[in-house]
């Protein structure tokens, strides 16, 4: 189906160089395959890059969200507020710990949680909300100062789902804050899946500025085990006659998981992290090129509007399409583009419309999320794309429409 010699353009993909390969090979030849010095080196570098005090690596973004819920101590009877326009994992994280989800609506144009939608969700949760998980959809940031104000007022913890937003900054009190610095949140979670800005194969990171939270995340990442004598409860078993901790001894107060990231994955993550600025610059340049080439198609097709004060590294390049005005529906356009070797995707069906959540919470009404969902289409965006690829996508898009001239 792919005409000509042009390679298929997926909506996103990894960018791997020889030095990434060499870094992984070095890890394979080292003494450690799982938790070794590269995990720590990666965590340190990630913390520096995001400006957070601590970064905890784990084996997926989803695991990171689950760890965050455990670190907050969320459980049955608690409610996590989740914008309904996100990937499944943000909401599922609440269910993993037995908490319920209160879906919040989003802005119809940016797809982001906003002041009114957060306030409405807090009211609906009738005092049971214990935390909120703002999602920086596509890369642009939720107004975190606004979230922090409402969170403080209602005693909510804040976990940023920053899986789309690594490398971006947002303005806070006149200063540009890197995403992940947790200036207005308890934790931020990242995914290093291959479609994301940098990759470690499968992997994730949680950042925080709180040492106790960091300790909890590390404990739940590895079975809930502790080897810290200060935490031992079974003192008769833990210590010898002279009061020294027994060398074999560890304890578990609450079960955790094996969510550890390996040295192999972290070697790739560390190598990729060094390229974040290069990738970011390339993504910004490609987005600017899309903006320019798509401008004549407005208002029927326009990019998701930018957020004031935010300098994102776009994970996805999303356009909002008035499908009536362009004379073709979304599935038709996607099929036509695919036939030309151009991959597109829809991010996302609002999660409250998934059968599991429909069954659990009934039919919910979130008009902002529906209006965004009905118009959105993600076009290819990844650092290895050339300027000519952007032109090819825009030309392909134009000829997939049934415009009446
Ligand atoms: C990718 C993603 C996740 C999950 O990350 P994995 O590494 O795939 O588990 C969670 N939330 C959002 C918004 C994501 O895009």
pLDDT tens, residue by residue, 53-106:
999 999 999 999 999 999 999 999 999 999 999 999 999 999 999 999 999 999
| Whether the Cβ atoms of residue 262 and residue 34 lie closer than 8 Å to each other | yes
Nearest alpha carbon, ligand 1 atom 15: 163
Give the length of the chain: 405
Nearest alpha carbon, ligand 1 atom 3: 61
Three-class SS of residue 48? helix
For residue 349, the CA-to-ligand 1 centroid distance in Å is 15
Nearest alpha carbon, ligand 1 atom 5: 61
For residue 230, the CA-to-ligand 1 centroid distance in Å is 35
For residue 164, the ligand 1 atom closest to its alpha carbon is 15
The burial of 257, by beta-carbon neighbours within 10 Å (0-12 exposed, 13-18 middle, 19 or more buried), is given as middle
pLDDT at site 1:
44
For residue 297, the CA-to-ligand 1 centroid distance in Å is 31
User: How far apart are alpha carbons 233 and 251 in whole angstroms?
Assistant: 8
- Domains of the chain and any CATH numbers: 18-272 (3.40.640.10), 276-399 (3.90.1150.10)
Q: Which residues, given as ranges, of the chain have pLDDT below 50?
A: 1-3, 405
Where are the alpha helices (H) located in 97-143, listed in sequence order? 115-124
| Whether the Cβ atoms of residue 207 and residue 160 lie closer than 8 Å to each other | no
- CA distance readout (Å), 245 to 233, 248, 291, 403: 12, 9, 62, 76
Q: DSSP readout, 345-378? A: B-----GGGSHHHHHHH-----HHHHHHHHHEEE
Question: Which of 90, 191, 316 gets mutated to test ligand 1 (max ligand atoms within 8 A of its CB)?
Answer: 191
Q: Which residues line ligand 1 (CB under 6 A)?
A: 60-62, 86-87, 89-90, 135, 161, 163-164, 191, 193, 204
Question: Which of 113, 193, 201, 268 gets mutated to test ligand 1 (max ligand atoms within 8 A of its CB)?
Answer: 193
For residue 2, the CA-to-ligand 1 centroid distance in Å is 30
For residue 243, the CA-to-ligand 1 centroid distance in Å is 46
CA-nearest of 51, 73, 63, 67 to 182 is 51
For residue 398, the CA-to-ligand 1 centroid distance in Å is 31
Looking at 166-257, which runs of residues are DSSP E strands? 169-172, 175-178, 187-191, 204-208, 225-226, 251-252
For residue 64, the ligand 1 atom closest to its alpha carbon is 9
User: How far apart are alpha carbons 310 and 169 in whole angstroms?
Assistant: 6
Catalytic residue chosen out of the listed positions 49, 196, 216, 218: 196
pLDDT at site 402:
84
End-to-end CA distance of the chain: 28
Q: Look up 275 and say whether it is catalytic.
A: no
Residue 138's region, left for phi above 0, alpha for psi from -120 to 50, else beta, is left
| Whether the Cβ atoms of residue 157 and residue 299 lie closer than 8 Å to each other | no
For residue 192, the ligand 1 atom closest to its alpha carbon is 7
């Amino acid at each position: 189906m792919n005409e000509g010699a042009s390679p298929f353009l997926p909506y996103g993909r990894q960018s791997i160089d020889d030095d990434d390969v060499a870094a992984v090979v070095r890890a394979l030849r080292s003494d450690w395959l799982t938790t070794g010095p590269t995990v720590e080196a990666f965590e340190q570098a990630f913390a520096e890059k995001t400006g957070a005090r601590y970064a905890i690596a784990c084996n997926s973004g989803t695991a990171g969200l689950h760890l965050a819920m455990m670190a907050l101590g969320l459980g049955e009877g608690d409610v996590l507020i989740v914008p309904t326009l996100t990937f499944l994992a943000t909401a599922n994280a609440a269910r993993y710990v037995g908490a319920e989800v209160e879906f919040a609506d989003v802005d119809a144009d940016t797809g982001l949680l906003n002041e009114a939608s957060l306030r409405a969700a807090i009211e609906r949760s009738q005092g049971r909300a214990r935390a909120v998980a703002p999602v920086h959809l596509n890369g642009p940031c939720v107004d975190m100062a606004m979230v922090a104000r409402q969170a403080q007022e209602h005693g909510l913890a804040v976990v940023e789902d920053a899986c789309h937003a690594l490398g971006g900054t947002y303005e806070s009190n006149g200063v540009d804050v890197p995403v992940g610095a947790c200036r207005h949140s308890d934790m931020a979670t990242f995914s290093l899946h291959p479609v994301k800005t940098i990759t470690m194969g499968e992997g994730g990171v949680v950042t925080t500025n709180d040492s106790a939270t960091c300790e909890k995340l590390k404990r739940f990442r590895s079975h809930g085990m502790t080897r810290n004598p200060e935490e031992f409860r079974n003192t008769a078993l833990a210590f010898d006659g002279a009061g020294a901790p027994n060398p074999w001894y560890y304890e578990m107060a609450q079960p955790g998981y094996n969510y550890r990231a390996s040295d192999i994955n972290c070697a790739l993550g560390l190598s990729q992290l060094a390229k974040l600025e290069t990738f970011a610059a390339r993504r910004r340049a490609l987005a600017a090129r899309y903006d320019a080439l798509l401008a004549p198609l407005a208002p029927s097709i326009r990019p998701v509007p930018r957020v004031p004060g935010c300098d994102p590294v776009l994970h996805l390049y999303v356009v909002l399409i008035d499908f009536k005005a362009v004379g073709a529906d979304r599935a038709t356009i996607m099929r036509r583009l695919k036939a030309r070797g151009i991959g597109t995707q829809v991010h996302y069906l609002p999660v409250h419309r998934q059968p599991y959540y429909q069954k659990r919470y009934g039919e919910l009404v979130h008009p902002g999320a529906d209006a965004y969902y009905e118009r959105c289409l993600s076009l290819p965006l990844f650092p290895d794309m050339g300027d000519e690829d952007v032109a090819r996508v825009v030309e392909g898009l134009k000829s997939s429409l049934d415009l009446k001239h």
